[in-house]
Amino acid sequence: MKIAVTVNGERYERDVEPRTLLAYFLREDLGLTGTHVGCDSSSCGCCVVAMDGDRAVKSCTMFAVQADGHEITTVEGLEQGGKLHPLQQAFWDQHGLQCGYCTPGMLMTSYVLLKHQPAPNEAEIREAIAGNLCRCTGYQNIVKAIQQASTELAAEPAAAAVGS
Amino acid sequence: MFPAPFDYYRAHSVDDAVQALARFGDDARILAGGQSLIPAMRFRLARPSVLVDINAIDELAYVRESDGHLAVGAGTRDFALETAPLIAQRYLLLADTSALVADPVVRQMGTVVGSLCHNDPAGDWPVTALAARAQVSIRTPGGATRTVAIDDFVVDSYTTAVGTGEMAVEVRFPTPGTRTSGSYQKIERKVGDFAAEKLLAGAKPSKDLIRAAMREAEKIADPSPDNRGSVEYKKAMAGVLVGRAIAGALERLGVGGLK
Ligand SMILES: Cc1cc2nc3c(=O)[nH]c(=O)nc-3n(C[C@H](O)[C@H](O)[C@H](O)COP(=O)(O)OP(=O)(O)OC[C@H]3O[C@@H](n4cnc5c(N)ncnc54)[C@H](O)[C@@H]3O)c2cc1C
Ligand code: FES
Ligand code: FES
C-alpha cells in the first residue's frame, strides 16, 4: 500500500506491506535507527515517537499505514541546525542516560509531555514516564533532566518547536 | 514476531466502516487503538484477514454530557478522559479508571470502547462499565443502531454482544447524582498490570459497614492463581481493595474519620 508520511519535516512516499510496524518502517525503510526496539510489545517505551507533535505513540505497536498523512517526529528530529534540543542538552547535563537504549523513547515521551504540561512537578514527570523502562539510571537523573528542560523551555518557548 | 499478512482499509465514517465489514466478511476486524489487537496479532493469537481502521473517523472522538449521561465515542482515547476537566469534577470513577489503564503512552492510543470490545477479564474498563451500569450503542450491518446494557454486552471473557459485521460506536455512563461518589482501586507490581478488583459505594457509612463489605468481597471473589499471587492472597486483596474503594469514595463526599 502506498503511503506518504512526513518524518522530521521531510515527506516520504513509500510502498509498504500493511503489516509493517512503524518502528521497522522508520528503522529499515527510512534508515532512522534512532528509534529503538526493545520489548516489541508496547511495554518498554524505547520505540516512542511523537505523532502530529502532540501524541506519544509506541511505534512497535502501530502500523506504518496508520501514519499515512501524519507527521512523525523521531529523536533525530529534535536537534535543529546543529543545536541540541533543550531536552537532549538536559539529558547530557544531568547524566540522564547510561547505555542510552531507553533514551530516544524517554526524550520523545517527555517532548510530548512538555507540550501538554509545560511545568510538570516531579510526581507528574514520574507518572508520565511510567511506560518507559530504564535498566541503568534509576530514573533520578532522567527526572532532573526533564525538570531542567521544562525550566529552559519556559524561558525560551521557541526552542520547543521542531519538525515541519 | 510480525503479524500474519492482512489487507488494510481506512474507514472515514461509521457507515463506511460497517459497509467495509460487510464487504470483507467474517475475518475482518476493527482496528481502534491497536493496543490489544496488534500484540495479539504479533503473537498470532489473532489473524484477521482485513483490518478496518477507525482512527481516521474524527467525529467518533468525543466526550459529551447530555440527558443524564456521559457519552464517550469509539474514537475517544483513555488520555482524553484522563485530561478532561468535566471528568475530574463529576465522573470520579471514570477519572480513576482512565488514569490506571496500562501506562500513559499506551493511553494516548488505547480507546475506552476498544477496551470494552476486547473484554479482557483483567481489563479495567469492563469492570468500571459494569459498576457504573453503562450502555453501549452498536451499529448493525443494516445501518441501524441498537443499545445494549453493559450486563448483556459483556457475554464472557473476550466475548461481547457485538456481532459479526457490527461496530460499537459509543458507551454511555449515567451521570452520578450530587451525593454519589466512586473510587477505583487496583494493586499493581508496575504500571500496566491488569485489574484485580473494584467497587462503588452506597448507603449509611460506618466502619462496620466497610468491614462487612470487605469480608463479603473476600467471600465472593473467585480469582485464578498466577504469578501475581495465590487464590488466598487475591481473596484477601479483594477485601483490602473494597475497603480502600469505599473509604476513598466516602472521603470524596467529605465523609472521613468514620467510627
Ligand atoms: C503494555 C500494555 C499494558 C496494558 N495494561 C492494561 C491495563 O492495565 N488495563 C487494561 O484494561 N488494559 C490494558 N491494556 C490494554 C489497552 O488498554 C488497550 O488499549 C485496550 O484494551 C483496547 O483498546 P484499543 O483501542 O487499543 O483496541 P484495539 O486493540 O484496537 O481492539 C481491541 C479489540 O476490540 C475490537 N474493537 C475495537 N474497537 C471496536 C469497535 N468500536 N467496535 C467493535 N470492535 C472493536 C477490535 O477488533 C479488537 O478485537 C494494556 C495494553 C498494553 C500494550
Ligand atoms: S519496543 Fe515498543 S514498547 Fe518496547
Ligand atoms: S540508560 Fe540504559 S536503559 Fe536507560
DSSP-derived 3-state class of residue A59 = helix
Cα gap B109→A55, rounded to integer Å: 8
Confidence of residue B137 (pLDDT cuts 50, 70, 90): very high
| Cβ atoms of A12 and A72 closer than 8 Å | no
| Arch. (CATH architecture) of A2-77 | Roll (3.10)
CATH T-level assignment (fold) for domain A86-157: DNA polymerase; domain 1 (1.10.150)
Cα gap B237→B239, rounded to integer Å: 5
Average pLDDT over residues B173-192: 76
| Cβ atoms of A47 and A60 closer than 8 Å | yes
Question: Would you state the pLDDT for residue B191?
Answer: 57
For chain B, domain boundaries: 7-53, 58-174, 197-252
| Residue predicted with more confidence, B81 or B224 | B81
- pLDDT(B234) > 60: yes
**Residues in Cβ contact with A90 at an 8 Å cutoff, skipping those fewer than 6 apart:** A96, A144, A145, A146, A148, A149, A152
Is the CB of residue A24 below 6 angstroms from any atom belonging to ligand 3? no
- pLDDT(A121) > 90: yes
- Alpha carbon B22 to chain centroid distance? 26
Of B8, B38, B102, the CB nearest to A65: B8
Of A18, A57, A129, the CB nearest to B7: A18
Residues with beta carbon inside 6 Å of ligand 1?
A 42-43; B 29-37, 39, 74, 101-102, 106, 110-111, 113-115, 117-118, 123-125, 162, 167-168, 192-195
> In terms of DSSP H, where are the helices of chain A?
22-24, 86-93, 103-116, 122-128, 140-155
Cα gap B100→B14, rounded to integer Å: 29
Amino acid identity of residue B177, one-letter, is G
The CATH number for B58-174, chosen from 2.60.40.10, 1.10.3720.10, 3.30.565.10, 3.30.465.10, is: 3.30.465.10
- pLDDT(B224) > 90: no
Confidence of residue B200 (pLDDT cuts 50, 70, 90): very low
Question: Would you state the pLDDT for residue A163?
Answer: 55
Amino acid identity of residue B226, one-letter, is D
Question: Would you state the pLDDT for residue B252?
Answer: 82
- Strand partners of residue B171: B72, B136
Determine the distance separating the centroid of ligand 1 and the alpha carbon of B209, expressed in angstroms.
36
Cα gap B123→B101, rounded to integer Å: 8
**Residues in Cβ contact with B158 at an 8 Å cutoff, skipping those fewer than 6 apart:** B118, B119, B120, B121
Most trustworthy range by pLDDT among A155-164, B3-12, B228-237: B3-12
Is the CB of residue A77 below 6 angstroms from any atom belonging to ligand 2? no
**DSSP annotation string for A115-131:** HH-SS--HHHHHHHTTT
Domain B7-53 has CATH 3.30.1600.10: no
Cα gap B249→A76, rounded to integer Å: 46
Average pLDDT, chain B: 89
From chain A residues 99-118, the ones with a CB under 8 A of any chain B CB are 109, 112, 116
Amino acid identity of residue B231, one-letter, is V
pLDDT, tens only, A59-114: 999 999 999 999 999 999 999 999 999 999 999 999 999 999 999 999 999 999 99
**Residues in Cβ contact with B157 at an 8 Å cutoff, skipping those fewer than 6 apart:** B119, B120, B121
Question: Would you state the pLDDT for residue B199?
Answer: 41
For chain A, counts of helices (H) and of strands (E): 5, 5
Question: Would you state the pLDDT for residue A127?
Answer: 97
Of the candidate ranges B41-45, B66-70, B113-117, B174-178, the one whose mean pLDDT is the lowest: B174-178
Q: What is the ipTM for the molecules in this complex?
A: 0.94
Question: Would you state the pLDDT for residue A86?
Answer: 97
DSSP-derived 3-state class of residue A147 = helix
The answer to whether the Cβ–Cβ distance between B42 and A40 falls below 8 Å is yes
Average pLDDT, chain A: 96
